[in-house]
Amino acid sequence: MGKRLLALLLGLGLTVSMLAGCGGDTDQDENPEGQEQQGDQEDGDDQEDGDQAENSGDPVELRFVMYGEAGPRDSEFFKGEFHDRILEELNLDISIDYVPWGSENQIATMIAGGEDFAFMAGVTQATFATWVNSGFFATIDEEMVEEVAPNYVANRPENGFASSKANGEIVLLPTGYSIYGSMYDNLMVRNDILNAVGWDVSEIENYDDLVEAFTAVHEAYPDMVIIQEAQKFIRFLDDYLVEGSIFDEADPCAMGVVNILDEDSDEVINWLESEGFVKMCKVAEDWYARGFLRTEHLTDTAAMTAERTAGNVLSTFGSTSVIYNHEGNDAEKEQGADWRYLKLDDNPVFVSKSYDWAWAFSSAAQDKVEDYLRFFNWMYESQENLLYATYGVEGQDWHWDEDGVIQQDVTDGFMLGWMHNSLKLVPISETKYDAAEVEEYMHYDDGAIQSKKTGFVFDNSEVATEEALLQAIITEKVKPIAYGMGNYDEDFPAVLEELKAAGLDKYVEEYQSQFSEYMANR
């Protein structure tokens, strides 16, 4: 779960949710029976002939840029046995470089400088749109993916590349397979803490119950953080704020939002002038007065993350995997934590993106996209290949425990198991977890609706000046009100005048125009 929190760093730009959530699921990697996918012998002979053709000639140099810092085993593995194996089997000369988390500006500079490489990408709307409109991404041909990487395709959700496109073109290569429905429209709640004050998560059926239960915890444990991520109010309480609504936004101060439950409508809501925004601000003001929200929610999100790491958080927006995995992080396990899933509304499950993180390729790497796809096809060819790339050498870098769950013997990250894991190749252990809960989780996305906003990328070039002015006002004056640190009735009218003068109407009109065109051409 700690790794998932790294995704929060990506809320300021495009890095490959984070975004992030760290929203979506991070599941532990489990081995069901240690079985691998196998084709028949004839298919294997055909593949061998193809491999020999691919492996002729000079090796193709591929460069992956990952976030984080290489550990000693990472460096040894990627330059040694991993490099040599991929060179021998695929004729690919792979190198791995690292940049610090949050270094999206460095990545942008590298792309603008014409460097060809693959990089981790998590979608956050504003910066992602800028990169798309700047031509930073190589495009990915869907027919090529299906032809060159059938193993990869087989380990992806059935909605294909719906959430990987910008302006109709695939620009991201998602990885892994998990459950992605309704990211951040739920809370993870410490039921053991609720039980200690006479509540159970099953008794929280509406907003009033939630406030009453949170109040009981705050009175008993005044130093405990009631909710970790205040910035996702709009996603968890959307139906309470505007009945019959799902706002596919992660930002309570977004200027233009759409209700994805109204699937055919192209309406863009001017959120900062809406009744939903008014109600949200007043909820936040009430929560701040009750002690549920703190100044640090706005000024020091790292402090909130540290509280979670220390096991001092009652609730957080989070992973649907809490349906079956109730333990939490190391500190919470020691406390006997019992995390439970809470969804207050009856809205349908929806999917806005079908991955936690993805790979993107710089525009200069356009002619190497097929070669990158060959690597990912190899990676998802079998359980053995996937675990080799993401955890290293079995028996040296990792092992299976008695429950069929992967335990790492080194702290290095390799190709990041949390990013690449496929529940089709490495299903969830039903020895460690309750089989019925695992089954409920695995079918959570069944019948989910696809967000109508998926694939829409706003081009801000016509309103770039206005957007910069508006964002400055939002950061300085709107967010404190939206986080409960001001009084809407007293403080916001004057701020709204500033927003109007800065071009709020023009911005929303441009957003509406582009979204209407997008909906008409879907």
Tens digits of per-residue pLDDT, 277-317?
A: 999 999 999 999 999 999 999 999 999 999 999 999 999 98
Give me the pLDDT at residue 124, please.
53
Q: What percentage of the chain exceeds 90 in pLDDT?
A: 69
Burial environment of residue 346 by CB neighbours within 10 A (0 to 12, 13 to 18, 19 or more): exposed
User: Rounded to 5 degrees, what angle do the CA atoms 125, 4, 385 make?
Assistant: 100
Determine the distance from the C-alpha atom of residue 146 to the mean position of all C-alpha atoms in its chain, rounded to a whole number.
24
> What is the per-residue pLDDT for 18?
31
pLDDT, residue 125, reads 52
At 25, the pLDDT band (50, 70, 90 cuts) reads very low
CA angle in degrees (0–180, nearest 5) for 196-197-203: 100
The span from the CA of 150 to the CA of 143, in Å, is: 10
- In this predicted structure, the answer to whether residue 32 has a pLDDT above a threshold of 60 is no
pLDDT at 8 over 70: no
Query: Tell me, what's the pLDDT at 384?
Result: 97
Confidence of residue 138 (pLDDT cuts 50, 70, 90): very high
Write down the mean pLDDT value for the chain: 87
Q: Is 21 exposed, middle or buried (0-12, 13-18, 19+ CB in 10 A)?
A: buried
Give the mean model confidence (pLDDT) for residues 320-329: 93
Is residue 264 scored above 50 in pLDDT?
A: yes
Tens-digit pLDDT profile for residues 51-93: 544 566 899 999 999 999 999 999 999 999 999 999 999 999 9
Residue 259 CA to residue 236 CA, distance in Å, equals 14
In order, the DSSP letters of 507-522 are HHHHHHHHHHHHHHT-
- Quote the percentage of the chain above a pLDDT of 70: 88
**Residue extent(s) of CATH 3.40.190.10 domains in the chain:** 2-180+354-450, 187-348
Q: Where are the alpha helices (DSSP H) in 69-176?
A: 72-79, 81-90, 104-112, 125-133, 142-148, 150-154
Q: Are strands 350-351 and 358-361 parallel, antiparallel or unpaired?
A: unpaired
Are 413 and 437 in contact by the 8 Å Cβ rule? The answer is no
Look at residue 35 and tell me whether its pLDDT is greater than 70: no
Say yes or no to pLDDT of 169 above 60.
yes
**Rounded to an integer, what distance in angstroms lies between the CA atom of residue 349 and that of residue 422?**
21
**Backbone torsion region of residue 489, taken as left when φ is above 0, otherwise alpha when ψ lies between -120 and 50, otherwise beta:** alpha
pLDDT of residue 455: 77
On the question of pLDDT at 429 being above 90, the answer is: yes
- The predicted model gives 459-473 an average pLDDT of 95
Backbone angles phi, psi at 301, to 5 degrees: -65, -25
Q: State the pLDDT confidence band at 122, using cuts at 50, 70 and 90.
A: low
Helical spans, DSSP H, in 155-300: 191-196, 207-220, 233-236, 238-241, 275-290, 296-299
Residues 334-369: pLDDT tens digits?
Answer: 999 999 999 989 889 888 877 878 999 999 999 999
Alpha-carbon gap, residue 464 to 309, rounded angstroms: 38
Cα→Cα distances 286→211, 229, 278, 294, 484, Å: 10, 16, 13, 12, 7
In which residue are the tokens 């006479």 written? 198
CATH superfamily placement of domain 2-180+354-450? Periplasmic binding protein-like II (3.40.190.10)
User: Per residue in 179-208, pLDDT tens?
Assistant: 888 777 789 999 999 999 999 999 999 999
Q: In what order do the strands lie in the sheet with 173-174?
A: 92-99, 60-67, 118-121, 358-361, 173-174
The whole-number average pLDDT for the span 205-219 is 97
Which pTM value belongs to this model?
0.80
Tell me the pLDDT tens digit for each residue of 490-508. 999 999 999 999 999 999 9
Query: Are the beta carbons of 32 and 429 closer than 8 angstroms?
Result: yes
Residues in CB range of 399: below 8 A, 6 or more apart: 406, 407, 409
Radius of gyration in angstroms for the set of CA atoms belonging to the chain, rounded to a whole number: 23
Under the banding of pLDDT at 50, 70 and 90, the label for residue 165 is confident
Q: Is the pLDDT of residue 439 over 70?
A: yes
CATH T-level topology, domain 187-348 = D-Maltodextrin-Binding Protein; domain 2 (3.40.190)
